[in-house]
Structure formats: structure tokens, C-alpha cells
């Protein structure tokens, strides 16, 4: 015999489990042979009002879909929430006497000026905290200054290769000669490796460069890091030559707005 339909309204929102009305109805189907119109309507409507616990209700069928949700675009971001920033004081170092430096020349063997403010040192496991606050506040960004100093990495590695050290030394000398300048080191990966892993690897590369700079006498208060993972390839091709170009660390020089750097 062809069973007659017992109507249940489709739930318009997207709770993740069957709405209680459905499950309820199911049970009743098993137990009860006959149910009247009023009872069914009451069940269906009461089920739609109740919201299952711990279920994410999504606006989707109310007509929002397809239109973008308003963002707070263009508004300045509130200051960092959470506090907890530690990090070095920002005492300005005097520029070293008589040292003029071309950062793109590289080379080693130059006498380093004494470091009077190294910033906080490494912790128990050897990590040196990043500076607190927003290192970009009041600073002008310069992505060109150290373009020739881009550091390249081996596949799946974050250690700075010997062949790349001279590029770092040049950056370190500049920062020591211009102690009011700061630096953001950007770590990048090729597209091999999972996305989650590459984010971490990019950050490790940037931090590895930072540690090398600190070892060369740059203040830890003046260098921060950012990982782009695989999101900013130089060459999007899928071959070894492109991958080698994409595994890199780049430098963004931050100079106080209105200052004149020592060259």
C-alpha cells in the first residue's frame, strides 16, 4: 500500500543536525499510527523555534547569501588587544663614527661598532622575543633598499646558508649605522609542502634571518618578522627554478617619517 505523506516543513536555516522536529517526527512515526493535523503543526512549529545547543546557526536562507557582509573597511584598527607585549626599550643608538655603508655592497670583516642596547636576550630555549607594540607606527616602508639582499633558502630548510651571510652582514651594518631604523623580515616558501606547514616554515625562515642579524649586533628591539607562506611567489611557475626563487627572505626597511638616514 502506498503510504500517505506526513508533511514536515523544510527547515530554512542551516543547523547542522536534523532539527528536533524531524527526529521527533521520526519517533512518532514509529510509535503512533495516526496523528491529527493540529498535533503535527504544533510539533513542526515548535521544533523550528527551538535551537539545538552548540549548533552554529547560519544566516543563509534569509537572503543574505551572495551579498557581502559589511566590513569595517577603511576604519583605523583599534590598538592591539590583549597586551602582553614585552620587548626592548627603544633607546636610540648614536650613529657610529666614520662608518659609511653601502648596504648592497655586502662583505664581511668590518669592525662592528659597540652595541650599547642589544635589546632583550634569548630565553631559556634560545628564542629572542619580538619587539612589542606596532613596529610600523610612525615609520615609512621601503621595500627597495635591500632588494638586492634577498636571502634564498634550500628546500624545506630555514637555516641561513653560508652563501647568504654576506647579504645579511650588509643589512646588519646599515641598521647599526641607522639605529632609529627598524626592519621587518618577510619569510616566503615555494608551494611544496602543505599550507599550514608553509606558514610556519616561512616564519621560521624570517626568524632565522633575524637571529643572524641579532648575532651581528643588531638590537632585537628593531627587528620583527612576518610569514607569507606560499602566498607571494616571485614566480608562480611549477618548476625547480621558480621554487628556488620563491624560497626566500626579504627585507622591509622601516625609517622614521621625516628622518634622513646615514648612507
Residues 199-228, interacting with another protein (CB under 8 A): 199-201, 203-204, 207, 224-228
Are the C-beta atoms of 256 and 180 separated by less than 8 Å?
Answer: yes
Backbone angles phi, psi at 226, to 5 degrees: -150, 140
Q: At closest approach, how far in Å is the CB of 95 from another protein?
A: 25
Distances (CA, A) of 171 to 52, 155, 178, 222, 240: 58, 24, 11, 12, 28
Residue of 49, 196, 239, 241 interacting with another protein (CB under 8 A): 196
Contact between 23 and another protein (CB under 8 A)? yes
Residue of 53, 109, 163, 239 interacting with another protein (CB under 8 A): 53
Q: At closest approach, how far in Å is the CB of 89 from another protein?
A: 15
Are the C-beta atoms of 226 and 187 separated by less than 8 Å?
Answer: yes
Choose one: 68-76, 108-116, 159-167, 171-179; the region binding another protein (CB under 8 A).
Answer: 68-76
Contact between 22 and another protein (CB under 8 A)? yes
Contact between 258 and another protein (CB under 8 A)? no
CB atoms within 10 A of CB 244: 16
Q: How far apart are CA 234 and CA 80, in angstroms?
A: 31
Window 156-175: residues binding another protein (CB under 8 A): none
DSSP state of 126: S
- Residues 215, 148, 187: CA angle, nearest 5 degrees: 60
- 71/241 with CB nearer another protein: 71
Contact between 48 and another protein (CB under 8 A)? yes
Residue of 97, 111, 124, 258 interacting with another protein (CB under 8 A): 124
CB atoms within 10 A of CB 62: 9
Contact between 147 and another protein (CB under 8 A)? no
- 32/241 with CB nearer another protein: 32
Q: At closest approach, how far in Å is the CB of 109 from another protein?
A: 29
Residue of 16, 89, 91, 263 interacting with another protein (CB under 8 A): 16
The residues, ordered by sequence, that sit 6+ positions from 142 with a Cβ below 8 Å of its Cβ are: 252, 253, 254, 255
Residue of 94, 100, 125, 260 interacting with another protein (CB under 8 A): 125
Q: How far apart are CA 247 and CA 191, in angstroms?
A: 9
Amino acid at each position: 500500500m502506498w503510504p500517505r505523506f506526513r508533511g514536515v516543513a523544510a527547515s530554512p536555516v542551516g543547523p547542522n543536525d536534523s532539527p528536533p522536529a524531524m527526529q521527533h517526527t521520526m519517533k512518532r512515526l514509529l510509535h503512533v499510527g495516526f496523528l491529527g493535523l493540529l498535533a503535527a503543526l504544533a510539533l513542526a512549529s515548535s521544533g523550528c523555534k527551538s535551537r539545538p545547543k552548540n549548533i552554529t546557526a547560519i544566516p543563509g536562507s534569509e537572503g543574505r547569501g551572495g551579498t557581502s557582509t559589511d566590513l569595517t573597511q577603511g576604519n583605523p584598527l583599534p590598538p592591539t588587544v590583549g597586551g602582553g607585549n614585552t620587548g626592548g626599550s627603544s633607546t636610540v643608538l648614536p650613529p657610529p663614527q666614520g662608518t659609511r655603508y653601502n648596504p648592497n655592497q655586502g662583505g664581511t670583516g668590518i669592525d662592528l661598532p659597540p652595541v650599547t642596547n642589544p635589546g632583550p636576550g634569548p630565553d631559556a630555549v634560545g628564542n629572542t622575543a619580538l619587539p612589542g607594540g606596532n613596529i610600523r607606527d610612525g615609520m615609512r616602508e621601503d621595500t627597495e633598499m635591500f632588494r638586492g639582499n634577498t636571502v634564498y633558502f634550500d628546500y624545506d630548510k630555514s637555516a641561513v646558508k653560508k652563501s647568504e651571510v654576506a647579504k645579511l652582514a650588509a643589512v646588519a651594518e646599515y641598521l647599526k649605522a641607522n639605529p632609529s631604523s627598524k626592519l621587518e623580515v618577510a619569510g616566503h616558501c615555494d608551494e611544496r609542502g602543505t599550507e599550514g606547514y608553509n606558514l610556519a616554515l616561512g616564519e621560521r625562515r624570517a626568524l632565522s634571518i633575524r637571529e643572524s642579524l641579532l648575532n651581528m649586533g643588531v638590537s632585537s628591539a628593531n627587528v620583527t618578522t612576518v610569514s607569507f607562506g606560499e602566498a607571494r611567489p616571485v614566480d608562480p611557475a611549477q618548476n625547480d627554478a621558480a621554487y628556488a626563487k620563491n624560497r626566500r627572505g626579504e627585507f622591509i626597511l622601516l625609517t622614521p617619517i621625516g628622518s634622513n638616514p646615514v648612507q
